Amino acid sequence: MYAEGDSVWSKKGATLSDKSACKEFGLTQEEIVTAIKKGKLQYRVNSIYGNPFLRLVRSEVEKLVDEKHGGDYLKKKKLEKELAQVNKELKMLNARVASLEKRKTELLAMLGK
């Protein structure tokens, strides 16, 4: 199915942790374990700083969520995630603009304008 260097496990964004699946898609740990036992999800056990977690294939998790909640739920979750990212970036940019405006005022004051 996949060539040696083309494995889904090595592609950026193609996998996610069980914790991320719970947070991003509203799944419970029990639902993930049940899906693994039924053969609906492939997994690998990983560890970071000595803490173990399950690495899951994102497309399989999305398919599981689609079966559970329907396609509109998944679309809504993706839109909510994108909106949160946009809001975060806007907040950072607004803080940067405020900082630059303050510096501009200081520079103008130093120039006597």
Do 68 and 91 meet the contact criterion of CB atoms below 8 Å apart?
no
pLDDT of residue 10 exceeding 90, the answer is no
What's residue 1's pLDDT? 46
**What mean pLDDT is predicted for residues 35-59?**
93
The predicted-structure confidence for 54-113, as pLDDT tens digits, reads as follows 999 999 999 999 888 887 888 888 898 899 999 999 999 999 999 999 999 999 999 987
Q: Does residue 61 share a domain with residue 7?
A: yes
SS3 55: strand
Do 56 and 21 meet the contact criterion of CB atoms below 8 Å apart?
yes
What's residue 72's pLDDT? 87
pLDDT of residue 3 exceeding 80, the answer is no
Q: Does residue 79 share a domain with residue 59?
A: no
Q: Does residue 92 share a domain with residue 45?
A: no
Q: Which domain holds residue 92?
A: 70-113
Domain count, the chain: 2
Amino acid at 104: K
Buried b (16+ CB within 10 A) or exposed e, 55-73: ebbbebbbebbeeeeeeee
